[in-house]
């Protein structure tokens, strides 16, 4: 096990009606003026924004609103939010939505406390500044951003999508009511399940080797996702299934499932280029295509690790041929994503061979070369993985 530091300051309020406690909890924490940040009109049509606003009003907390966050959030709206915070003397950010909204809120919370353009933080990865405190009302379990130190934002002008990690931007509160996820469309539910499962794969496959306490947590979460996925897709109003998925999604990316490891994150880097190329590509769908391709390309570095994963998660019986067992585990992973309704090829995402050279330059900017820890990848390696995914 490698040395590690772990920070988890998030106060979780979980269960039916959790969002009704927003005002009281933020008032206790000293909030005076809040920016309520959200995505499309569905949050307003459902009455959630009004309920959250009423909770803030009842607690005597002033608030302003900024909606319009798209999937794969973009820096232009972040800059608008930063300006609102600075001009409006905002002291808390409240994200109402899923990973894209939370990531946008984190970027705003950072940008509101610096004099430079907020995008510079994504370029320089600077950490020596304050961050406005963040609270979350989660509506889409997937990214785990409600408790993580990470944010990912796109810059359409530059054709880039990149991340920024800072423990100071971990949310202070996460209000998690599984009932708010009942109306998620099946595709969005499935993409979320894929995203959280891939967060575990990024941590399970690295260059460290066995870390039993972390591995067992990781594998348990994988098995929970596999067990609950068919239940939640067949019965969207199943509270217990939704609750298990919501809590699992947080654990997948909070950081605990990777302690003592270097982690890999090559596949997330490869996928970010897909959704930077076309922001309409859903992150989870891109991962469903890219992860099996990455696995096929790198499994020879440690086939026993892949074989063990196949046995522990899919119940595969060892054949005595470790490489064959590793390939079977990869096949099962692809089949699992397909069973959720996820794509299995880049062609299904509208990406072809001509797009590969377009993605490599920004991949080099965003990840540096080589990248990944399980196998250190060059741009030539990345091109081959994209080709495997075609």
pLDDT of residue 77: 97
Band of pLDDT at residue 1, cut at 50, 70 and 90: confident
Place of tokens 């009302």: 137
pLDDT at 354: 97
**pLDDT band, residue 7 (cuts 50/70/90):** confident
The pLDDT assigned to 4 comes to 86
User: What is the rounded CA–CA span in Å between residue 305 and residue 299?
Assistant: 8
What pLDDT does 357 receive?
96
- 59-105 pLDDT, tens digit per residue, is 999 999 999 999 889 999 999 999 999 999 999 999 999 999 999 99
- pLDDT value, residue 371: 94
Per-residue pLDDT, 68: 94
> Residue 339 — very low, low, confident or very high, per pLDDT cuts 50/70/90?
very high
Question: 43 pLDDT exceeds 90?
Answer: no
Please tell me the pTM assigned to this model: 0.93
Query: What pLDDT sits at residue 6?
Result: 84
Residue 226: band (very low, low, confident or very high) from pLDDT cuts 50, 70, 90: very high
Say if residue 45's pLDDT is above 90: no
pLDDT of residue 369: 85
The whole-number pLDDT of residue 128 equals: 83
pLDDT tens, residue by residue, 154-179: 999 998 888 899 999 999 999 999 99
Between these two residues, 362 and 222, which has the higher pLDDT value?
A: 222
Query: What average pLDDT does this structure show over 20-34?
Result: 97
pLDDT of the residue at 5: 85
Q: Is pLDDT above 90 for 40?
A: no
pLDDT at 206 over 90: yes
Both tokens of 47, joined, read 């009455």
Average pLDDT over residues 39-43: 84
Give the rounded percent of residues in the chain with a pLDDT score beyond 70: 100
* pLDDT band per the 50, 70, 90 thresholds, residue 252: very high
pLDDT value of residue 73: 94
pLDDT at 155: 94
Residue 340: pLDDT over 90? yes
Determine the pLDDT at residue 368. 79
């Amino acid at each position: 096990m490698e040395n590690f530091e772990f920070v988890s300051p998030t106060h979780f309020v979980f269960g039916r009606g959790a969002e009704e406690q927003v005002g009281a909890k933020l008032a206790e924490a000293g909030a005076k003026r809040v920016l309520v940040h959200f995505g499309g009109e569905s949050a307003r049509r459902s009455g959630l924004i009004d309920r959250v606003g009423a909770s803030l009003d009842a607690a005597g907390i002033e608030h302003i609103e900024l909606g319009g966050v798209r999937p794969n959030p973009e820096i232009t709206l972040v800059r608008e939010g930063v300006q609102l915070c600075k001009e409006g003397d905002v002291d808390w950010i409240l994200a109402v939505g899923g990973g894209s909204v939370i990531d946008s809120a984190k970027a705003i919370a950072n940008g509101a406390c610096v004099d430079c353009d907020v995008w510079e933080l994504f370029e320089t990865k600077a950490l020596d500044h304050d961050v406005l405190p963040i609270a979350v009302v989660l509506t889409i379990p997937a990214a785990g951003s409600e408790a993580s130190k990470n944010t990912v934002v796109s810059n359409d002008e530059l054709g880039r999508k990149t991340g920024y990690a800072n423990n100071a931007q971990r949310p202070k509160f996460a209000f998690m009511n599984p009932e708010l996820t009942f109306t998620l469309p099946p595709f969005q539910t499935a993409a979320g399940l894929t995203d959280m499962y891939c967060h575990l794969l990024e941590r399970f496959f690295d260059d460290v080797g066995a870390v039993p306490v972390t591995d067992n947590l990781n594998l348990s979460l994988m098995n929970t996702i596999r067990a609950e996925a068919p239940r939640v897709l067949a019965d969207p109003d199943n509270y217990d299934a939704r609750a298990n998925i919501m809590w699992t999604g947080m654990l997948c990316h909070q950081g605990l499932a990777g302690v003592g490891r270097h982690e890999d994150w090559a596949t997330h880097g490869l996928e970010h280029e897909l959704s930077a190329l076309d922001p309409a590509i859903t992150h989870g769908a891109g991962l469903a295509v890219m992860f099996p391709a990455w696995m096929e390309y790198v499994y020879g570095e440690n086939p026993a690790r892949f074989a063990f994963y196949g046995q522990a998660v899919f119940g595969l019986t060892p054949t005595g041929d470790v490489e064959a067992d590793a390939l079977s585990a990869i096949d099962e992973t692809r089949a699992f994503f397909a069973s959720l309704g996820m794509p299995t090829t880049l062609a299904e995402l509208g990406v072809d061979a001509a797009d590969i050279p377009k993605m490599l330059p920004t991949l080099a900017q965003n990840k540096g070369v080589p990248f990944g820890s399980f196998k250190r990848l060059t741009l030539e390696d990345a091109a081959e993985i994209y080709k495997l995914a075609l």
